[in-house]
Amino acid sequence: MTLIAGIAVPFIENPFLSVQPVVQTVTQVITPVNNLTEDTASTTASEVADETNSWNGTSLVLYLWLAGAIFQIFLLIRNVSQLYFLKKYSSKNQHPIADFYSNKNTPAAFSFGKLIYLPETAYNAQDLRLILQHEQLHAQHKHWIDNTVLELLQIVFWFHPLFHLFKKQIKLVHEYQVDQEIDVADQYDYAKLLLAQNNKAYINKLIHTFNFSPLKNRIAMMTNSKKVSSWKYVLTLPVIALCFGLMSASPKSDQRIRNGNTTTFRGNTIVWQAGGVDTLEVTDPATGETIIQKIDQNDRVKKVNGHEVAEGIFLSLNMGSAEFANPELEAISKNIQQALKQNRSKFPENIAFLQIENIVLDKNLNVYYYDVRTGGVNMTDTTLAGLNKFPGVNKEVDKILKNKKQINPANIVLNKDYYTLQAWIGFQPDQVQVELKRP
């Protein structure tokens, strides 16, 4: 149960943690069209190379883990086969305490399930009784189930040192439990028998061997007059479960990871609908040249975590032209704009405009996702790939969208579960160098 709880805990939704929005800041400078071709090709090649290198690194880690998992499966199959053939070629012996199998290829006494295996050794009656009693106790406690589960989990967690430490401690606890049930009158003979069997080993990890070390701890625990209470073991279970939970859990990533039309971030899943193609008439004020250019419209958010998202704002290609789905959304967008203006001093001076787009919010204005697009005053403020050179922007925008008193002072509740929204502000609109309008 501890192992299962430890693995399951990271996948349980915590009601005390609110979903935090992720910030993807894209910085863009509007430049004349005739300057785009060479830089865009160079940037695209660089992006493809970076993406390829990232994928190669991820693939290498995945292949290494898979190789280790396959090797662990091989070891498990080998161990099961050894037990099968050992029983097949061993002779069965009867005893008042328990029946057992003996084989010359068995170096040490061990048990698996209800089956007990001993070497073909001439034990005296006392030693044989103690060994059979020990292995019989393992069978009664069903320790073989723990061992089997541990070996199956090792296929997945073979790389993690804490798992191997946990596995070792579980087996040691099994031995402590069995040693504590040995009759007090037999403790001296039992301790001598442990010492005598110490040099013998059997490496099959599915089994419990009589001589499992460390001997010093086992003998000290056994000879302690105060028995180890069961509740002490029970108290360790929450601690172990917490350790496995921390080991398995991963923090919700602030990075947007897109695969096809799906983006995952901070535990949320966004599904996108592909945008269409439109045209723009671009006029360069320096040359007076007018070019009609085809442009790809941005993808829009279609679903968040499986729920349909309504489009809250409809934009035309004319700069600043927008129509909102309802007055409440327009009021919220204006509140965000006002908050951006009030916090102008917290943003870098060389930002010409700032736009928060693809905002995904629910009816209570909890924000699930948004992008930040910034336009720099000069070419040196950004790159054509949209790489952000204003790292402080993310933090400030995040604070604004989390402040419901600022963006929703009227406590508006929307009439649909999820909406998309945008808000923008021009800090230095006179610096924008290209005029955009419909042909």
Query: Across all residues in the chain, what is the average pLDDT?
Result: 76
**Which amino acid belongs to residue 130?**
L
In this predicted structure, what is the pLDDT of residue 246?
A: 62
- Percentage of the chain beyond pLDDT 90 is 24
Note the pLDDT tens digit of each residue in 204-227. 666 666 656 566 666 666 666 555
The model's confidence at residue 322, banded by pLDDT at 50, 70 and 90, is confident
Residue 416 has what DSSP assignment?
S
Q: Could you write out the DSSP letters of every residue in 5-34?
A: HHHHGGGS--TTSPPPPEEEEEE-----GG
Q: Can you tell me which residue has the tokens 């035309």? A: 316
CA atoms within 13 A on the CB side of 167: 22
CA torsion sign for 309, 313, 316, 319 is negative
In this predicted structure, what is the pLDDT of residue 433?
A: 39
Pairing assessment for the beta strands 367-376 and 351-362 based on DSSP bridges: antiparallel
Average the pLDDT over 40-65 and give the result: 64
In this predicted structure, what is the pLDDT of residue 211?
A: 56
Query: Do residues 173 and 156 lie in contact, with contact meaning Cβ atoms separated by under 8 Å?
Result: no
Report how far Cα 210 is from the mean position of its chain's Cα atoms.
40
Greater pLDDT, 115 or 22: 115
Q: Outline where 249-379 has alpha helix (H).
A: 327-342
Task: Give the chain's largest Cα–Cα span.
Answer: 108
CA atoms within 13 A on the CB side of 42: 7
In this predicted structure, what is the pLDDT of residue 157?
A: 93
Note the pLDDT tens digit of each residue in 169-197. 898 888 888 888 877 577 788 888 877 77
Average the pLDDT over 267-286 and give the result: 76
The model's confidence at residue 64, banded by pLDDT at 50, 70 and 90, is very high
- Cβ-based neighbours of 41, under 8 Å, separated by 6 or more: none
In this predicted structure, what is the pLDDT of residue 22?
A: 44
**pTM of the complete model:** 0.46
Say if residue 79's pLDDT is above 70.
Answer: yes
- Cβ-based neighbours of 160, under 8 Å, separated by 6 or more: 247
List for the chain the helix, strand, coil content (%; round to 5). 45, 25, 30
Note the pLDDT tens digit of each residue in 248-263. 555 556 677 888 899 8
Note the pLDDT tens digit of each residue in 3-35. 666 666 666 655 544 444 444 444 444 444 344
What CA–CA distance (Å, rounded) separates 295 from 414? 33
